[in-house]
Amino acid sequence: MQRAALAGICGPLRGGARPGPLVCLFHASLPAFAADKGLLVKLRRKTGYSFVNCKKALEKFSGDSKQAEVWLHEQAQKEGWSKASKLQGRKTKEGLIGLMRAGNTAVMVEVNCETDFVSRNVKFQQLVQQAAAGTMFHHQDAKDQLTTYIKRFMNADELSQLRTGPDGCLLRDQMALAIGKLGENMAIKRAAWVAVPANYYIGSYVHGALAAANSPLDNMALGKYGALVICQTPEQSQKSNLADLGRRLSQHVVGMAPLSVGCLEDESGGDTETKMLAQPFLLDPSITVGQYVQPQGVSVVDFVRFECGEDTDIPEAE
């Protein structure tokens, strides 16, 4: 029986002759392309996709890493849109506030997810950066030749249509990729963009900031609360002094949540006061914010405050 089985594989024994050594001839088809280990490691590090998918992509395109990367993004986007549809409606109360500064401009964005765990993922943090960069790029033509400050807001629908640069993907596509990778519902909720002329300064502060080791973003501050404070300044003000002053005022806005700026003549209303200049100064409650800034020759003219997960309408641009 064993000889018969072997004969079926190696060919029948001829002429009833005493069998000699069996000589088996195997037909070997050309092997499929095997992904080079170096290319595989490089592609996985660059894209963040799984080992299996990167290997599949390289084999599909015979080691062409560029085509493999494009295919991986396309597949991830398809999967992301599928997951986005399935996850739609799930609450996104966690997330991050991202604050980006560039010259005389600043951007704050809020991007939400379902859990605090995902908000600490590098891929999610990159989505926050992309939202901030897209907002900054969208408004870049309005920052020059200013005579006073500009403050603009964008809602979720407007943000989804933004690109992250001249050749960048739409933010909604970037979010789909992030959903596909991380498996949680997400939302790019809102953004504020501010630009000022030379005799103004933008103070900024992010509370609950993540440790630098958790974030690859050099020009971003990430946290749960954020504030921008717009100040009109004396012409000879030192930038270092303004940076410290702006940070302190922004800390106050985060901590005391004023609803309006008010004016220096307003009397202090104590802890229930909602006008910023009449509130007890967070870092020295013995004086008001107005009493803190007046001797320094600085005028607070406006502010923006974001709190991650808060229910709020997007205000109209001023």
Q: Are residues 132 and 42 part of one domain? A: no
Q: Dihedral sign for Cα 148, 230, 111, 311, please.
A: negative
Q: Are residues 151 and 62 part of one domain? A: no
The structure tokens listed for 254 are 């985060």
Q: How far apart are CA 203 and CA 251, in angstroms?
A: 9
**Domain coverage including residue 287:** 94-307
For the domain that residue 221 is a member of, what is the CATH number?
A: 3.30.479.20
Q: Are residues 238 and 115 part of one domain? A: yes
**Is there a contact between 254 and 305 (Cβ–Cβ < 8 Å)?**
yes
The structure tokens listed for 295 are 């001797």
Q: What are phi and psi of 285, to 5 degrees?
A: -65, -5
Q: Are residues 269 and 204 part of one domain? A: yes
Q: How far apart are CA 232 and CA 243, in angstroms?
A: 13
Q: Are residues 117 and 82 part of one domain? A: no
Q: Are residues 141 and 287 part of one domain? A: yes
Residue-level pLDDT at 31: 41
Nearest to 72 by CA among 93, 89, 55, 84: 55
Q: What are phi and psi of 189, to 5 degrees?
A: -85, -50
pLDDT in tens, the chain (318 residues): 444 443 443 444 444 445 444 444 434 443 445 557 888 888 877 776 767 778 888 888 888 888 888 888 777 766 665 665 565 666 778 999 999 999 899 999 999 999 999 999 998 999 999 999 999 999 988 877 788 999 999 999 999 999 876 667 789 888 888 887 888 889 999 999 999 998 999 999 999 876 543 445 567 899 999 999 999 987 766 666 899 999 999 999 999 999 999 999 998 888 899 999 999 999 999 999 999 999 988 999 999 999 999 987 666 544
